[in-house]
Each structure stands twice: as C-alpha cells, then as structure tokens.
Amino acid sequence: MAEMAIKKKRPKNLDLPTIRLPLPGILSIIHRISGAALFLLLPFLLWLFESSLTSAETFASFKAVVDHGLVKIILLGLIWFYMHHFCAGIRYLLLDVDIGVDLKEAILSSKIVFGVSIALTLIVGVQVLW
C-alpha cells in the first residue's frame, strides 16, 4: 500500500533555468555563501587583526594592506557578507519563535534584511575603510 503511493508518477520540474528562486530563497543561499566565504577568509581576517595589534611595524604593514584599493573592495564585500549573515540570522531566530512565518511576512522580512544589511554595509564600510 505504502509502496504503491511512493511509486506513483509525480510531475517533475527540474528544468533549473525555469525555476525562479523566491526572495527568501535568495536570502537563504546568500546566507550560506556568505557564511562559507567568511569561514574561508578567517585566516586572512585573523592575520589582519593580529598585525593591527602587535607592533608599530606590523601595524604599518596592516595599514599598507588595508589601504590597497583591491583589498578595500574585498573588505567591503566581506562587510556586506557579515551584515547579510547577521540580519538574515536575526530573521531566522525570529522564524524559530514563529514570528513572520506567513508567506507575505516572510517576503517582507526578506526585503527588510536586504535593505538593512546593504545600508549597514555602506555606513560601516565607508566609516571604517574610507
């Protein structure tokens, strides 16, 4: 009986280009990508933190690295990743306690996460990097 139900033919739609990921889905995959990227760049960030604190010489080399235009762009990207992970994470914590579970609210809260995280990135990024 149970096997019959499982073997029943179901419609499949795995034509990836035609599947549109809704906004909460985009938020979710960026949450994962940003987490993975922050993990991969941990040694770089720890090195930056260490050289910024150790001595006048290492502080000078820290300054030189951070003043490089390309590094600034990478750091701005990392700040966005951090802020997105932070805001999306708070959204997930609220979902955990059943706040904003309805579809309409979930889409609205996704928009808020994107808006707030980009705003925070610009405010903090410009203050810290420029």
Partner 1 sequence: MVNRILVGAHYGLKDWVIQRATAIVMAVYTVIFLVVIGSVGPDSLESWRGVFAGGFMRFATFLFFVSVFYHAWIGIRDIWMDYIKPDGIRLLLMVATATVLVGYAGWAIRILWRT
Q: Are 62 and 48 in contact (CB under 8 A)?
A: yes
> Cβ 70 to partner 1, closest distance in Å?
23
What per-residue string of b and e applies to 51-86 under the rule 16 or more CB within 10 Å gives b?
beeeeeeeeeebeebeeeeeebeebbebbbbbbbbe
Annotated binding site for heme: 85
- SS3 for 124? helix
For residues 69 to 108, the per-residue mask of contacts with partner 1, x marking binding by CB under 8 A and - elsewhere, is -----------------x--xx--x--x------------
> Cβ 62 to partner 1, closest distance in Å?
9
Q: Which residues of the shown chain bind partner 1 in the complex (CB under 8 A)?
A: 32, 35-36, 38-39, 42-43, 46, 49-50, 52-54, 56, 59, 86, 89-90, 93, 96, 124, 127-128
